[in-house]
């Protein structure tokens, strides 16, 4: 996952600019049907039973240090089509708020191959534990 411009600004100002930044107590995952970027989220899914889901991370290692999702994230059953989900983002709020990090959904076997998911009525989107990773090297 890549940091958003918002989080990059907060971290740099906190570490080098003397401006305090308080980390959110709860993080949430949202999913998008169009590309996210450092400047902001893509088109987030809405309606049809969709809601951002809380996520916790475990931070470990050095060079690189990696924050890895510590449990599976399961979204509610879709009550209608969500479209094709291509990206995910981590937010500091269950709705609105600020996107902190984002990534294209990729195959967990290599974390490189794009892995879009079409979510139809009755589907449940799950992201397995360990499949959301933020690495700083």
Q: What is the pLDDT of residue 98?
A: 97
Domains of the chain, residue spans: 2-13+26-136
Q: What is the 3-state secondary structure (H, E, C) of 15-65?
A: HHCCCCCCCCCCEEEEEECCCCECCECCCECCCCCCCCEEECEEEECCCCE
Q: What is the pLDDT of residue 137?
A: 61
Q: What is the pLDDT of residue 5?
A: 96
Residue 21 in tokens = 């930044």
DSSP string of 83-124?
A: EEE-EEEEESSSSSS-EEEEEE-B-TTTS-SB--EEE-TT--
Q: Which residues of the chain have pLDDT under 50?
A: none
Q: What is the pLDDT of residue 107?
A: 93
Burial category of 98 from C-beta neighbours within 10 Å (exposed 0-12, middle 13-18, buried 19 and up): middle
Q: What is the pLDDT of residue 136?
A: 82
Q: What is the pLDDT of residue 63?
A: 85
pTM, to two decimals = 0.94
């Amino acid at each position: 996952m890549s940091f958003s411009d918002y989080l990059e600004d907060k971290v740099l100002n906190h570490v080098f600019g003397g401006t305090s930044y308080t980390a959110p107590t709860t993080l949430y995952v949202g999913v998008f049907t169009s590309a996210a970027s450092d400047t902001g989220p893509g088109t987030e899914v809405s309606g049809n039973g969709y809601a951002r889901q809380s996520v916790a991370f475990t931070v470990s290692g050095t060079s690189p240090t990696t924050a890895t999702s510590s449990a599976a994230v399961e979204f509610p059953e879709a009550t209608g089509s969500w479209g094709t989900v291509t990206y995910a983002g981590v937010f500091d709020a269950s709705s609105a708020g600020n996107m902190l990090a984002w990534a294209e959904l990729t195959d967990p076997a290599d974390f490189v191959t794009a892995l879009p998911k079409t979510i139809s009525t009755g589907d449940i989107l799950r992201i397995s534990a360990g499949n959301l990773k933020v690495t700083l090297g």
